[in-house]
Amino acid sequence: MDNSAEELLIAGPQLHMLDRFAPELLDLPAAELWRALKGPTLFRIEGRQPKPLFVSVLLHGNEDTGWQAVQSVMKEAAARGLPRTMLLFVGNIDAARANVRTLPAQNDYNRTWPGTLSEHVPEAAVMRAVIEIVRAAEPFASIDIHNNTGHNPHYACLNELSDPFLHLARLFSRTIVYFKKPLGVQSAAMAHVCPSVTVECGRVGGMAGVEHAAEFVHAALAMSHFPTKSLPESEIDLLQTRAILKIPEDATFSFDGRDADMRLRADLDHLNFSELSAGTVFGTLGGSGARRLEVVPCGDFKLRGDYFDYQTGEIRLARPAIPSMLTLDPNAIRLDCLGYLMQRIARDGTILTP
């Protein structure tokens, strides 16, 4: 390692600021952004309404739908300009260069926002700086754009159930997920500043995700104010994540039937967003048969009773649940989690069914 690289590691990422979106960025792929930008960059792009929309993309380097959506919005704006000022945060361009979520030496760019448990890492200083600049600009709303790896519909996630948050989420999808964990995510930090959502645009590489995200950003830029009327309950499918599913770090897993502590079914991600009954099989136990999935509460509540039953050597749901973000991607499983379990909730947060 030469000296400059060592310095870079100690110093961590630095926030860069730009007040124009250069035309050469319009067609630059996410993996090439390192050629044009010096690091995580906050753009201020003037529009007709002064209260800005804050948009963040590439907090995860291999999730480039947000970047492509922004390129599409900026191409459309080339002739007429933006209807509203946009503060655009382009996050982890080093991970984008390597086409990974987060580089091994880095901390996750969507787990290091204020509220994180790792507030002393260098990435957290960048996120704090971004929040303070955005807060001072009195933003209209905030959108963070992501992809995921499993088979999922497009959906919006929020951290508060008040009307502006729900209206913003509904602008993207009628499927809306309320969550309290993981900590340190952008939308939770921004929820203290303005209505904020995270949008999940399906797998990387699909043009449908890019078009949907671009339409959403455009609609939010064009919106003059949030409706004063409440959103009717019938307009939304509201779910709350209750539990995070993890595979213990030292346990092995497979999706192709090969022997492992957890032999999971090959179509596991096709269970996402379906209402599963108790007894649904996620896989079978292999190895010593003694390992169990980790089921971690997604908030400051205790989980009552067991979520899984292992009695027959199978991994079966012990109660009804709706999974999300179940993935077959080993990197996603090791870096993040296997998926989540959700329950239907009402507008006031009470648990409905199952």
- Which residues are near Zn ion by CB under 5 A? 60, 63, 146
Nearer to Zn ion, 60 or 265 (CB): 60
**Residue 239: what residue type?**
L
Label residues 18-51 b or e (16+ Cβ within 10 Å = b). beebeeebeebebbebeeebebbbbbbbebebee
Nearer to Zn ion, 60 or 167 (CB): 60
- CB 63, min distance to Zn ion, A: 5
The length of the chain, given as a count of residues: 354
| Cα separation, 145 vs 67, whole angstroms | 8
Q: Is the dihedral of CA 306, 274, 65, 20 positive or negative?
A: negative
Side by side, which strands form the sheet with 281-285? 253-254, 262-264, 281-285, 314-317, 308-309
- CB 114, min distance to Zn ion, A: 18
- CB 198, min distance to Zn ion, A: 8
Nearer to Zn ion, 146 or 263 (CB): 146
- CB 325, min distance to Zn ion, A: 10
Nearer to Zn ion, 298 or 315 (CB): 298
- CB 121, min distance to Zn ion, A: 18
Residue 248 token pair: 């213990």
Is 235 within 8 Å of 262 (Cβ atoms)?
A: no
Is 253 within 8 Å of 264 (Cβ atoms)?
A: yes
Nearer to Zn ion, 60 or 111 (CB): 60
- CB 110, min distance to Zn ion, A: 6
Nearer to Zn ion, 140 or 340 (CB): 340
Nearer to Zn ion, 60 or 154 (CB): 60
Going by their DSSP bridges, the two strands 196-200 and 155-158 should be labelled as antiparallel
Is 40 within 8 Å of 33 (Cβ atoms)?
A: no
- CB 91, min distance to Zn ion, A: 10
